Structure 1
Amino acid sequence: MGVGTWVKTAIFYPDEFRAIFAYTIWRDPVHDFKRNPAESGYDRERMRQCWQFLDMTSRSFAAVIKELKGELCRVICIFYLVLRALDTVEDDMTLPPKKKIPLLIDFHKKLYEPGWTFSESGPNEKDRQLLVQFDKVIDEYQLLSEGCKAVISDICARMGAGMASYIELGDSPVGLTMQSWTDYDLYCHFVAGLVGEGLSGLFAQTGIESPMVAAQLSLSNHMGLFLQKTNIIRDYAEDVNESRSFWPKECWGANGIFKHENEVQLGVVETKKGSGKYKWADTPEGKEARVIMSTILLDALSHAVHVLEYMLLLHDQSVFNFCATPQVMAIATLELMLDNPDVLKKNVKIRKSLAVSLILRAVNPRDVAYTFVEYARFMHKKIRADDPNYVRWCVELGRIEAWAEGKFPSYVRTSKKQDIFDVRVAMYEKWAASRAEKVEHYQVENSLRRKLEIANPAATRSETKMIMLITFGVTIFMMFFLVIFGVLSWFVFWYTFAEGTDPLTLFVRALWKVASETLKTHRFNTGFWDQWGTLKYVFNEAGDIVSYQMQNRVSS
């Protein structure tokens, strides 16, 4: 970043400017591969050369790979370099298909051929040196565990076969053309979805993540497709210049206005000659190009919710950062490209300061989810009402917001800052404030009571006795009240729905009569058990009398 860019960022994007300083000065990596040379392989000259290859071939992934935990950083480094070498062979337009196809199909076998290198790549191929010194990668590959080697070899074999099949399809005068959305998805699966599957497998093989993660093939595929489709759209102008075509004909050729994907560029014109800025042409081609851009961006966005689902499965912080960082950058890039005619003429990228800000935010599933929500709302503001895909856009953007709200309700917050008003937030804050007030009052009351106990223990004991007496008295009163209420309820019920004297009154009369006769005959003795037996006799006799009277009443 030049001085002008720094000044512009400080003035117009102060939050991002602060994020750059926070990242540069205060942020410590989750793990530093140099501090653990035994597991990262940094103590070997050959592996240090592989780390240099990683820096040469990847600007975006190198930093997050180096922060992975334990041996996983070395495993992912080798995995990346193997696939980068494979991709270099596929992208090399100087290699004839007869040479390229067999090499792609058998590339996974080269991993078991020590000393194998390839020096026939074109002189302008940017990653040519990796293939020239590929023997170092092979030697390091052989040091991996059998499980990791199996995952890398399998993904390499499947990816090479898929790439070869598309090169065969493109070996024609018109070149490779994706006919349908299915072809487009399959191609993205071969070049990126398989990468997602391989990474999930390696997370599990190294024991960093649960084996369940390796079984999530569909979600892993969505992770790769979201990134790959974003990159394909962003690199449209570059691909056109190099005669590559990846957008499906079902998208750009649906209405017959364009005969080839390259012609979609006809839909934009410069705002001013030599300005390097573009606008949609006020022509049928311009309108069609705008719809095509909307359609293909919408297709990429359809993977967003699945990406968020995958994030919930990850437990290790370094793995989460590794997966989340490119995804939040992808959603920001999609928002930047939406309704942006510059995409068709030049490579469009998010600001570096924004990228740093996103890296600092992408540290847990909740913050990643609400980063997606934030950019979904930005995109919703940019959708035109006359866009034929307007309803579909609303549905896809709504799915992101509904998912985030379902998993991480917005009214349950970790800070007091809230820019968006929500009635649930007010309800929650009101309840929380009243709860805090009650807790504070209770704490103050307890504190005063403890001070009184220390100052005058005799008064405290007297107060305790008084409380016990009051409690006992209230209990007796409540029991008496319940008994009286029960008796009165019984009388009301009986004399409303029945005839004659109620059984309770008959029992009291009989009990009185039997007790009087028992006292006259002196049947009470001095022993406790004798008195208990006499009492049982009185109640049983009274019960028998009442039972006899009730039977006679029923029979009569």
Structure 2
Amino acid sequence: MEILRSLGIRGGIYRLIRYRMGAGRPGVQRRDSMSEGLQTCYRYLNETGRSFAAIIQTLDGELRDAVCICYVIIRALDTVEDDMTISLETKIPVLRNFHTFLYDPEWRFTESKDKCKRLLEDFPTISREFRNLATVYQEVIADTCRKIGAGLAKFLEKKIESLEDWDEYGHYASGLVEIVFSHLFSASKLEDTIVSQDTRLSSSMGLLLQKTNIIRDYLEDQLVGREFWPKEVWSKYAMKLSDFSDPENIVPAAQCLNELITNALQHVPGSFTFLSQHKNQSVFNFFAVPFVMAIATLGACYNNQQVFKGVVKIRRDQVMTLMKDATNLQATKAIVLQYVEEIHHKIPPSDPSSCETQQVILSIRKLCVSSESSASRHLYSGIYISRAMLLAAVGCLYLYAAWKV
């Protein structure tokens, strides 16, 4: 593996090879040194985190365990909010007091019917591993759970009416998650303190991810009675948000969809600035991969009627390519540029938000174009180096064959 690094094959490709070979997976590499409870937390991470789990498991040192436990805890908190079978009378106090349960060895919740209910039923295992973390990690995670729980409880009693509400909800649901991760990275000393100081930027990244999920999950949320699209936008196109699932309303539904995607794309510049602050390779990948996956998802959803009929997902091979390529800021900008250009080509001329979408894309293009040129120079340079290495190798084989003769 040192040969790969010395040849400049860093970040994505190297880590992808590690995934294939099992490195970075606690069950393969660190099982003997892990407690049974910590192994359980990683199992829950792999069951609920999907591709995100692989990114967490490439983090360096003790930070990996702290982020794993943090993710599983927030996932359990999120499960309480998501489960529509739990009454508000039960749900709201649980959300508001969730941070205190981290210090209660006996607390568990057995009333959930959600697919992630095991996280709540086995919460004593998770909370025990939380209490085994360094105090600095515990304080950051507990304080964030307090804020998230209070925010989510607020929006159980309040509908998302305006775009300001949409931003506020997104801050509680995902912005604070990006902030807590930034604080953990700073606390670990893998990143400078500046990473955790400008919470506006980390929240911007979180808003982009959360809005992407909300946009993509329209039908899933409708089927269980959840509504997260802001009324300020959808009311311009329908009497009720559920009207978009009617095939007769597919044109206004797509127009509303496009306006929301345009709003989400406005968080891209702040996300670029946020990514530029991270110097540690594993931490950069941690944030960059979900970011480009969100952009790819927005590209797939834009003006796509399938959002109202089923699930729109990016292909698995596409996910692997994004994980492989998003290893530095220049490459990440090149990826984003590719998808926003795809959106640009799909803008319907008659779309009410077409002008705004074009303006947002133009601003993103300006941020990316110089980086794209730089990335292209690096790419061509790499091609020439590879050709030179190939010629050198062929030459060596020729000389060896001649010597054998």
Quote the residue 2:58 is aligned against.
Answer: 67
Offset at 1:409?
4.2
Contact 2:26–2:39 (CA<8 Å) still a contact in 1? no
Is it true that 1:132 corresponds to 2:124 in the alignment? no
Contact 2:330–2:375 (CA<8 Å) still a contact in 1? no
> Within 5 A, what are the aligned runs for 1:316-327?
316-327=280-291
Change in Cα spacing, 1:42 to 1:379, as seen in structure 2 (3 Å) is farther
The match for 1:416 among 358, 362, 380 is: 380
Quote the residue 1:165 is aligned against.
Answer: 154
Quote the residue 1:241 is aligned against.
Answer: 223
Counterpart residue type for residue 223 of structure 1:
M
Gap runs ≥5 in structure 2: 1-11, 383-405
Is it true that 1:376 corresponds to 2:340 in the alignment? yes
Offset at 1:261?
0.7
Counterpart residue type for residue 258 of structure 1:
A
Contact 2:250–2:305 (CA<8 Å) still a contact in 1? no
2: CA distance, partners of 1:408 / 1:232: 30
SS of residue in 2 equivalent to 1:290: helix
Counterpart residue type for residue 159 of structure 1:
I
Is it true that 1:192 corresponds to 2:156 in the alignment? no
Change in Cα spacing, 1:53 to 1:286, as seen in structure 2 (3 Å) is closer
2: CA distance, partners of 1:305 / 1:351: 26
Count, aligned residues: 370
Offset at 1:320?
1.0
SS of residue in 2 equivalent to 1:107: helix
Deviations 1:50-86 (A, max 9, x none): 1111112221211111111001110001101111111
Counterpart residue type for residue 314 of structure 1:
H
Offset at 1:391?
1.7
Quote the residue 2:45 is aligned against.
Answer: 54
RMSD: 2.4
Change in Cα spacing, 1:415 to 1:29, as seen in structure 2 (3 Å) is farther
1: CA distance, partners of 2:154 / 2:250: 34
Is it true that 1:143 corresponds to 2:132 in the alignment? yes
Counterpart residue type for residue 206 of structure 1:
S
Is it true that 1:347 corresponds to 2:311 in the alignment? yes
Change in Cα spacing, 1:46 to 1:27, as seen in structure 2 (3 Å) is closer
The match for 1:153 among 113, 136, 142 is: 142
Offset at 1:43?
2.1
Is it true that 1:209 corresponds to 2:191 in the alignment? yes
The match for 1:219 among 179, 194, 201 is: 201
Higher RCO, 1 or 2 (CA under 8 Å, sep at least 6)? 2
2: CA distance, partners of 1:130 / 1:180: 33
Contact 1:204–1:214 (CA<8 Å) still a contact in 2? yes
2: CA distance, partners of 1:194 / 1:326: 16
Deviations 1:167-225 (A, max 9, x none): 123xxxxxxx3211111111111110110110110010111111110102011001111
Quote the residue 1:265 is aligned against.
Answer: 245
Gap runs ≥5 in structure 1: 1-18, 170-176, 269-280, 419-556
Deviations 1:334-386 (A, max 9, x none): 11111110101111001111111111101111100110011111111111222
Offset at 1:395?
1.3
TM-score by length of 1: 0.63
1: CA distance, partners of 2:279 / 2:23: 14
